[in-house]
Amino acid sequence: EERIPRNFITDIIDEDLKEGRVTNIATRFPPEPNGYLHIGHAKSICLNFGLARDYNGTCNLRFDDTNPVKEDLEYIRSIERDVKWLGFSWSGEVRHSSDYFDRLYGYALELINKGLAYVDELSPEEIREYRGTLKEPGRDSPYRYRSVEENLALFEKMKNGGFEEGKACLRAKIDMSSPFICMRDPVIYRVRFASHALTGDKWCIYPMYDFTHCISDAIEGITHSICTLEFQDNRRLYDWVLDHISIEARPHQYEMSRLNLEYSLTSKRKLNLLVEKGLVDGWDDPRLTTISGLRRRGYTPASIREFCRRIGVTKQENTVEMSALETCVRDDLNTKAPRALAVLHPIKLVIDNFGEDGVTVDKVTVPNHPEKEDLGSRELSLSKELFIDAADFREQANKQYKRLKLGYEVRLRHAYIVKAVSCEKDENGNVTCVHVEAVPNSIGTDVEGHKPKGVIHWVNANDCYRGQVCLYGRLFKVPNPGAEEDFLACVDENSKEIIKDAALESSLKNAKVGDSFQFEREGYFCVESKDFVEGAPVFNLTVALRDNKKT
Ligand code: ATP
Ligand code: MG
Ligand code: MG
């Protein structure tokens, strides 16, 4: 049922299968373990794992760990967790580019032996300068024409720690006047005296991405290697490397557009800065569109998969509106989430005639979902004193106001029709208490002569859970923070509002991590997973209801 909609990559695969160029589809998802996964990665995950699912193929999880700078176990764990949480599983063991360091070294020797790679002793700055620009061709390094023997000896010396960082590197000998800058003798190995999370201190030379990726794909028998558009030119290098080493498998690289999402960052480096500067509450801050942030915010795996399905796979760069993501979680939770009553800004509502004839009901059994009977029902208790939201009462208001006003009637959700008769205020003039008269015998039925204009929610003031609710807005004040010179300055400090003392129906006290609810007339809320305390859940706003029903 959950299939990837047709796109240019499925067209390529279908053609490859039809022409017999491949028999089994093999893809991979290759994150660099230098941060947490974000919504952009979800697009790549849904595509790569989804293709494997749809074509009965395989998808590897491969950590692209050629850069040994950071201790990345935390990232590795989080990435594995996020992929699984999204509902996917990789084929066999987790792979690492570093698993292939020995073989990669062997292929580097092969290139040297074929006269197709040389050890360069220009500095990184000089290499950049010699490389030229789009308008002018590059210049040969003076070290370009060393003999094979000399190169073998120098590469050996590099491997044995005989060169300091930046004093030597291995470059592929391709074409210094290529219109593609990446083909102007790209660096394929560099010196780094850094301990690697998996290979420790075994190596002090590390292969570069362009050399590593294509060979790792070939070693794993990947058939369709999907990356983002900025690697389009690099496809030449991908093919060049595989053309010039003795490896049989022949993967092909295809490029799609990146996902750009309004009001969010899809760069691990920039996300990292937000975390480091303490502008957010960790990588899983509910305002971030990291996978872990979305999870903590109450997004469901199905809603993220559906989002990726809807945005599709193309070669056109574009920016997706945040509302597209929000719609997906709303649609999903609308069908799945039990309803509950929660008063975020409580004021008292006193039913003056409670206990009199026709106004004696003190509990009602209500369905947990308007359509899904299998979600069951629960009991709500009633008493003379309830809470309603401060925004649901006005002394006076025009006809558009469908909530409670003096002299008019409103229905209490699942309970009585009530008419406001008076109110009490504090010294600042804020209403603290509303007195109402309930219409006798009006629960669950119309009563002649009474036509309440609206429905408002409530909780029993004598039987409720006073808990904390966090309302989240957009983290950034601008739609494209990534394009700002100082995106850190675009963080909206008011994007998190904590309500310490909301009045929630008492059943919510027992909510557990993983539970989501529709707080009627407010939005979808989930239980905060961080520092969860049994019997004292905090609720996070996942997304508001589609239209502001509070008219
Ligand atoms: P970042 O700048 O966040 O580090 P990256 O592309 O370097 O991004 P990787 O860990 O290398 O991050 O990405 C793993 C895979 O996810 C790659 O195949 C990459 O193309 C893909 N990917 C990353 N970001 C996006 C995005 N915004 N849209 C689609 N695919 C993405
Ligand atoms: Mg990166
Ligand atoms: Mg990358």
Instruction: Report pLDDT digits (tens) over 122-150.
Output: 999 999 999 999 999 999 999 999 999 99
What integer pLDDT is reported at residue 550 of this predicted model?
40
Q: Answer whether residue 514 shows pLDDT above 50.
A: yes
CA dist 380 and 446 (Å) reads: 20
Nearest residue to 72 (alpha-carbon basis) of 37, 107, 104? 37
B/e letters for 527-547, b = 16+ CB within 10 Å, e = fewer, are bbbeeeeeeebbbbbbbebee
Report the residue among 44, 47, 230 best suited for mutation to probe ligand 1: largest number of ligand atoms under 8 A from its CB: 44
Higher pLDDT, 225 or 549: 225
Q: Thinking of the domain 262-297+463-551, which architecture would CATH place it in?
A: Beta Barrel (2.40)
Residue nearest to atom 29 of ligand 1 (CA): 258
- Can you tell me the mean pLDDT for 163-181? 98
pLDDT tens per residue across span 354-378: 999 999 999 999 999 999 999 999 9
- Can you tell me the mean pLDDT for 75-97? 97
Q: Answer whether residue 333 shows pLDDT above 90.
A: yes
What integer pLDDT is reported at residue 20 of this predicted model?
97
Say if 102-207 and 347-462 have the same CATH topology: no
Q: How confident is the model at residue 72 (pLDDT cuts 50, 70, 90)?
A: confident
Under 8 Å between Cβ of 265 and 481? yes
- Cα(302) to centroid of ligand 2, in Å? 26
Domain boundaries, the chain: 1-93+211-259, 102-207, 262-297+463-551, 347-462
CA dist 231 and 238 (Å) reads: 10
DSSP 453: S
From the CA of 37, which ligand is nearest?
Answer: 1
pLDDT tens per residue across span 421-444: 999 999 999 999 999 999 999 999
Residue 358 Cα to chain centre, angstroms: 52
What integer pLDDT is reported at residue 426 of this predicted model?
97
How much is the mean pLDDT over the chain? 96
B/e letters for 132-155, b = 16+ CB within 10 Å, e = fewer, are beeeeebeebebeebeeeebeebb
Q: At the top level of CATH, which class does the domain 102-207 belong to?
A: alpha beta
268 lines ligand 1 (CB under 6 A): yes
CATH of domain 1-93+211-259: 3.40.50.620
Under 8 Å between Cβ of 318 and 257? yes
Q: Within a 13 Å sphere around the CA of 56, how many CA atoms are in the beta-carbon half?
A: 5
Percentage of residues in the chain with pLDDT exceeding 70? Answer: 99
- Which residues define the annotated binding site for L-glutamine? 64, 209
Under 8 Å between Cβ of 349 and 434? yes
- Which residues define the annotated binding site for ATP? 32-34, 38-44, 228, 258-259
31 lines ligand 1 (CB under 6 A): yes
- Can you tell me the mean pLDDT for 289-295? 98
What integer pLDDT is reported at residue 549 of this predicted model?
40
Ion ligand 3: residues, CB within 5 A, are 32
What integer pLDDT is reported at residue 244 of this predicted model?
98
- Can you tell me the mean pLDDT for 12-33? 97
From the CA of 312, which ligand is nearest?
Answer: 1
What integer pLDDT is reported at residue 206 of this predicted model?
98
What integer pLDDT is reported at residue 547 of this predicted model?
45
CATH of range 347-462; options 1.10.8.60, 3.30.1330.60, 2.40.240.10, 2.40.30.170: 2.40.240.10
- Which residues define the annotated binding site? 32-34, 38-44, 64, 209, 228, 258-259
228 lines ligand 1 (CB under 6 A): yes
41 lines ligand 1 (CB under 6 A): yes
Active site positions, annotated? 32, 258, 268
